[in-house]
Structure 1
Amino acid sequence: MKLARWTDPDGTLSEGFVIDDAVVPFPDGMTVASVLEQGLGGAQKLFDRVQSAPRTSLSHIQLLAPLTPTTVRDFVAFEEHVEGVSAGVEGKSNVAAEWYEAPTFYFTNPHTISGTGAVIGPPVCERLDFELELAAVIGGGPDAPESNLDVDQGESVIFGYCIMNDWSARDLQAREMQVRLGPAKGKDFGMTLGPWIVTADEFAPYLDAEGFLAVRAEAYINGELVGEDLVSNMGWPFPELVAYASRNSRVVPGDVLGSGTVGNGGCLGELWGRNGGLTPPPLNVGDAVRLVIEGLGEIQNTVGAPVPAPPIPAARPRTRQRRR
């Protein structure tokens, strides 16, 4: 099954299933969020109900991001990506020993999500980049666990998957991470999810013996292939990422967990580190970025003009006096 959100020709927001080359709204005014809460079993019952319902061609609608996430956790699960990016940032390739001990993620902004076809307005920056990722979407269902899940439970709450592009302003990111926090403003201006959510059961043929998803991922800039990898090169399979995210915390329907950037050119930052310079060049206005993942389809976005923001002054020296 494929779940999507879209705008109809009259501008109406609709949510429902993608069936072949058409879309069908959910019955009873349901939304992607409410279907995720029901889990895969509830989604299947709805899907059976709409088989004879009227359909609208995909060519007549504009796809949006397939959900409005409750939270977005983005992991860094590809060793090859860390090797390349560290070479560009630190001058030498280095994977910290701590990377191997447990999955690492950061929380990013769920309020700046876009869908395929959107024009991305980045901040004013000099090193705009994309990141090709696979994202898991959490679902619910009767008695679905939320906290301190084991790996089997982690697998049970994965509703489906979509493609993720974690847009990155590398120069802004490099500055703020010198303060040992972030990434923040180098990332939170935009993320693309899409083109739809494909339910987890459809990926069973791609699972290898250890539970990794052996789907092919490709990145293109202006039609030129710049990166390709198998998602099975992750250091941890998705159920383990979900279990880790739930440690002493909660994962709930609508949460999104990104795999982190795939290796072998899944972003420009990795290639800059390996090539010893800005080759290929950073993204610029008008560039078209197309990300393709086997079993999911593709998302494509165009880089728009940078969006200036009001200035913020630098920190001022303070006296550090302790009494008024």
Structure 2
Amino acid sequence: MNHVFVPNAQSLFVNHTQTPPTFYVNEHFMQMACGLIDFQKKLEQDKIKVYPKPTAACPYPAMNPIFVWAINQMQQLSIDTNIFNGFEVNPYLNVLQKFAVENSQLLNYPQPIHCDTLKNVFNRLRAELYTAKAKLHASKYLVEVQKFRNEQKSVFRRVMQTKEQANCIFLDLPILSCTNNFHYSIYEEIEKKSVKMVKKYLKSLHEAAQLKDILYDIHWRIIKGLDHQLSAQAFVYIIGDDMDYLPLLKEQWELVCLDYQLQGIFSMPKHTHCYDGQGITQKAWLQLIERVHEPLSFYRYKGNGITYAWKKYTGNV
């Protein structure tokens, strides 16, 4: 009789009280999410089996390691029951998380589980994927992500083609972090005020004497991580020769945060100077645009007036 014991895994997600400021693009989470989605695609397509076929030499083959790994992740998902609450989630992750919660007692059973029971578990998961039409809806989910990527790549190419050279800056500025010990109602209030806060910051850049007639249209958004941290992101293009504008951007951000009684953390931006035809630098910037959008493939947040969609703040060129 073939049994398997799957020990509890380490948490798939970073502890909410220890989440780093970059959780929105946390590499560990994205690797795990990619693996879980790929696993479910193969399960949905019936390309993997829980156990290899028995042979005379091995009548009780060991469980396929990918299924052992999947159970480990599902165990944690069954514990982190609220991890995706309030978010738009990739259909594959949504199905798996709900399935894990509904089957938490079995997944965390302390004794070895019979092989037939495990086969039944994954057969039911496959059925859930079919019911949810996971592949169909996941494809639609990702269309919007690609649209955002293409949009920002077009903006960058337009800057290069029409303005010839620019200081390219990507801002990722914390508005609300897990290090802030606020009551939930304060978090809600800050979410609602965050749009006004960011617009005030962009207005200060638009009016800055140092940026007069050289600030291209800014594309910005507010994103929310699974740790409920808010960050303002913006692609800023300042036309002309290579110059250090970071002190100005930092100063204005800190002043706006002071007005809103928040700690003005100015995370070091990604930045470069680029001219039209500078192939390596242009390619690197386009790759940055790709990476910035990766988390949207897994989850995204829209609420209290904030959205993951890009908005345009008119420049002064």
Tell me which interval the TM-score lies in, with the shorter structure as reference length.
under 0.3
Larger radius of gyration: 2
More strand by share: 1
TM-score (norm: length of structure 2): 0.25
